[in-house]
């Protein structure tokens, strides 16, 4: 994620219009374990079904140190299929979401994360199941226990007006998640926004592949992760309209494992361009015409810059990890105020305005560091942001401008932007910045500075080998700080304990390397 160093001071709570909520259906092919003792007889923990072993509820969270209720235990999602209809006239989202998952324990009940929205009907393996809503937890009790190792299916009927997350110090106080725009929607979900618009195991440790079928009123387009596999015209019913109306359907497929916070659906009147980079990678760009009115070459700028940087990072960091690269650039605002961030949504980063070349370099570096190699939990966020910030600086160096060494020493000597609480830069621990300051400047520029000093300590060629080896070893999976520091010692042949203690594990200003 890249952010402007400004804060919004007057955020209001609810986007769009307040409307009666209609219900939609969601098919879920592998659902999460639910908690015990919740309503409708769910989570009783009793043994039922056939076979050996006790059936018990899955955990309500994966135990993330910053977001204890995000994600759920007892299952591993393999695939999501989202069949959605969005009507911007009423800010209304309805859909059928199919989640295919494997039980990792004998489950009597399981949970999905879902905030807001109305749930009408749930089935598991095509049979009606009891369910309960408490906070963000959707607890589901199938008619029969789900045995460890089995794959199962559920269907969830849901719908409503997705609510933007506001008023949180996370993301420098900027609203995030599902944002309603005048002609559609802009979705940037890091760190916990996906649960506001679909039922999900909302934690980066459970990656899955995705299919999207998105129906929108005629004249609008829908862009999502992955490759566009179908576009067609149809007649469709939207829940708040009295009769069927002309509509457009877009199907997108993401075939690489993806963390939930990297999902996006973006709806509007896009101008698009699609081809391949000089290196042969699919490249799809969508730009809001409002931005083109302000900057007529914005489509070409995003598309060509993305192609150039994607090919460069592929040569430097390793083969591009996904089926497509690209950009989605919207005139995204909340209550009239511009959003202050761009986000590395998988395969096609989202930009809330026309951004700089260095910002594009940052978001595309995330495709390797954050998207392909995702953090095991949110405490490890520096593995995303420090690495992408270092890459952003390195891009500037490659263009013959400021070197990374100069930029790192400028951060060291200067007065970096404080977090929203005014917390001093050096008091933040890069490897454990705490929840409400997880996007602090020391995680971005401070961690990038540490990586540059590591580069100087072990040598440029060894450092670049370290980055390439890190990506190759953990592609499509999750990783931790301990794994990175161990790999750095292995690749360099040096004892780096003292270095990492000073530069990423301590709330101090270390002595500048000689």
pLDDT surpassing 80 at residue 19? no
Comparing 18-22, 78-82, 258-262, 405-409, the range with the smallest average pLDDT is: 18-22
What is the per-residue pLDDT for 14? 31
Q: Of 24-28, 52-56, 369-373, 458-462, which gets the smallest average pLDDT?
A: 24-28
* For residue 16, pLDDT beyond 80: no
Q: Which residues contact 305 (CB under 8 A, 6 or more apart)?
A: 357, 360
Tens digit of each residue's pLDDT (9 = 90 or more) over 466-497: 999 999 999 999 999 999 999 999 999 999 99
In the predicted model, what is the mean pLDDT of residues 201-224?
A: 98
Q: Kindly tell me if the per-residue pLDDT of 452 is higher than 50.
A: yes
Mean pLDDT, range 124-138, rounded to an integer: 95
Q: Where are the domains of the chain?
A: 2-6+22-363, 381-503
List Cβ neighbours of 33 (8 Å cut-off, separation of 6 or more): 57, 58, 59, 72, 73, 74, 75, 105, 107, 109, 110, 111
Mean pLDDT in residue range 171-179:
88
For the segment 153-177, the average pLDDT, to the nearest whole number, is: 90
User: Residue 6 above 90 pLDDT?
Assistant: no
pLDDT of residue 154: 85
Tell whether the model's pLDDT for residue 38 goes beyond 70.
Answer: no
Mean pLDDT across the chain: 90
- pLDDT higher than 50, residue 29: no
- Return d(Cα 299, Cα 305) in angstroms, integer: 10
Q: What's the CATH number for 381-503?
A: 1.10.390.10
The 3-state secondary structure of 393-431 reads HHHHHHCCCCCHHHHHHHHHHCCCCCCCCCCCHHHCCCC
Class of domain 2-6+22-363: mainly beta
Beta bridge partners of 57: none
63: helix, coil or strand? coil
Confidence of residue 418 (pLDDT cuts 50, 70, 90): low
Summarize the confidence of residues 230-239 as an average pLDDT.
Answer: 96
Tens digits of residue pLDDT in 263-321: 999 999 999 999 999 999 999 999 999 999 999 999 999 999 999 999 999 999 999 99
User: 46 pLDDT exceeds 90?
Assistant: no
| Alpha helix (H) residue ranges in 210-342 | 289-294, 298-317
- Mean pLDDT calculated for residue range 165-173: 83
Per-residue model confidence (pLDDT) at position 3: 60
Contact 334, 176 (CB under 8 A): no
Q: Are 314 and 364 in contact (CB under 8 A)?
A: no
**pLDDT by residue (tens digit) across 87-110?**
999 999 999 898 999 999 999 999
pLDDT of amino acid 173:
80
pLDDT higher than threshold 80 for residue 8 = no
């Amino acid at each position: 994620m890249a952010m402007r160093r400004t804060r919004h001071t007057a955020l209001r709570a609810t986007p769009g219009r307040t409307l009666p909520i209609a219900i939609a259906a969601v098919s879920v092919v592998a659902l999460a374990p639910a908690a015990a003792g919740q309503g409708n007889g769910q989570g009783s923990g009793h043994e039922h079904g056939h076979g050996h072993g006790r059936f018990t509820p899955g955990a309500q969270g994966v135990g993330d140190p910053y977001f204890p209720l995000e994600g759920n235990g007892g299952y591993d999602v393999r695939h999501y299929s989202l069949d959605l209809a969005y009507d911007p006239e009423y800010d209304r989202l309805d859909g059928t979401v199919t989640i295919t998952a494997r039980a990792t324990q004998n489950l009597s009940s399981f949970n999905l994360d879902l905030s807001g929205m109305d749930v009408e009907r749930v089935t598991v393996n095509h049979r009606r199941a009891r369910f309960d809503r408490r906070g963000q937890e959707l607890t589901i009790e199938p008619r029969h226990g789900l045995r460890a190792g089995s794959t199962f299916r559920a269907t969830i009927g849901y719908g409503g007006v997705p609510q933007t997350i506001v008023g949180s110090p996370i993301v420098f106080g900027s609203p995030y998640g599902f944002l309603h725009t005048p002609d559609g929607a802009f979705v940037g979900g890091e760190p916990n926004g996906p649960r506001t618009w679909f039922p999900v195991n909302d934690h980066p440790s459970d990656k899955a592949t995705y299919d999207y079928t998105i129906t929108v009123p005629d004249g609008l387009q829908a862009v999502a992760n992955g490759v566009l596999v179908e576009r067609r015209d149809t007649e469709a019913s939207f829940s708040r309209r009295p009769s069927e109306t002309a509509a457009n359907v877009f199907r997108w497929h993401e075939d690489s494992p993806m963390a939930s916070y990297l999902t996006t659906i973006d709806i509007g009147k896009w101008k698009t361009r699609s081809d391949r980079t000089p290196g042969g990678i699919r490249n799809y760009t969508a730009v809001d015409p409002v931005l083109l009115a302000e900057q007529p070459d914005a489509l070409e700028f995003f598309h060509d810059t993305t192609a150039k940087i994607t090919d460069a990072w592929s040569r430097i960091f390793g083969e591009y990890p996904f089926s497509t690269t690209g950009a989605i650039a919207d005139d995204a605002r909340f209550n009239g105020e511009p959003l202050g961030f761009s986000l590395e949504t998988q395969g096609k980063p989202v930009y809330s305005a026309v951004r700089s070349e260095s910002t594009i370099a940052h978001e595309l570096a995330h495709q390797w560091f954050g998207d392909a190699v995702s953090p095991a939990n949110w405490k490890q966020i520096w593995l995303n942001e420090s690495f992408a910030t270092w890459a952003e600086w390195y891009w500037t160096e490659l263009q013959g401008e400021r070197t990374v060494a100069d930029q790192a020493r400028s951060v060291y000597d200067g007065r970096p932007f404080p977090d929203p609480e005014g917390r001093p830069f050096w008091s933040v621990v890069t490897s454990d910045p705490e929840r409400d300051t997880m996007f602090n400047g020391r995680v971005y520029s401070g961690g990038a500075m540490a990586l540059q000093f590591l580069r100087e300590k072990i040598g440029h060629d060894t450092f670049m080998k370290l980055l390439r080896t890190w990506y190759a070893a953990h592609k499509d999976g999750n990783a931790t700080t301990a794994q990175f520091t161990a790999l750095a010692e292995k690749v360099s042949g040096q004892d780096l304990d003292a270095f990492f203690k000073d530069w990423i594990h301590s709330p101090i200003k270390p002595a500048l390397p000689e």
